[in-house]
Structure 1
Amino acid sequence: MVEKISSGSTYEELAGYSRAIVDGDMIYVSGTTGMDYSNMTLSDDVAEQTHQTFRNIQHVLQQAGSSLDDVLRVQYTITDASYFEQVAPIWGNYFANARPAATCVVAGLINPQMKIEIEVTARKGAAE
């Protein structure tokens, strides 16, 4: 049975998607940004947006019975190539154990204030 996880983002309802889908041991997390859903704010700082994005992803993975260490695949989307040198070490910190297959894309995002979006695929127990 497939489980759908929501973050409460208005984009999910508007565009008809879930923050994550859990299908057996597999967890597919939609592109996630640095919006702080507790107070509906978005920092102007790309590093802080990156940290908040990881906090949002960690929260979803925990709800699915998993963690960042179980991530197998990640796609980073940044809105400016110059951000790479600042945020890549942050990515490396969060994925020091998982070391997932990764892609980085430079593209615009829906909201011009958003500077980064991260999408991951994880498998429960992959870290074991």
Structure 2
Amino acid sequence: MPKDISAKEYMRGFIMRKCVMESHGKRTAMGKRSWKLFYARLRDLSLYLYRDAETAATATRAEEMALGYMKQVYRFQLHCQHLRFYYHHHEQHQRILQQQQQQQQQQQLESTTNEEER
């Protein structure tokens, strides 16, 4: 965990991870592609994954939606420095979708309020 006290934590909770590509672009063996449970924290621009309370892995590149992968409901893919490639998903997709809808409604409300004031 980083020592930066000013880092903003956006989300924390359990997340499932599936390794698809090993380092140097090699595909992961079929027996090692199962989904594994991790505890994750999203702080500033870093995603921290914990297997247990003592070990943590830090992602070093940005994630993006995995649009071509349709087996899990809410998923994103993560490309790491050494060409590793992971799929991630979690069960709280409904909560995230509700938050996104609330933010959109709030933005629409603010824009209509600003237009009325003019």
Richer in strand (by share)? 2
Richer in helix (by share)? 1
- Where on the TM-score scale, by shorter chain, does this alignment land: which range? under 0.3
Question: How high is the TM-score relative to the length of structure 2?
Answer: 0.26
Question: How high is the TM-score relative to the length of structure 1?
Answer: 0.25
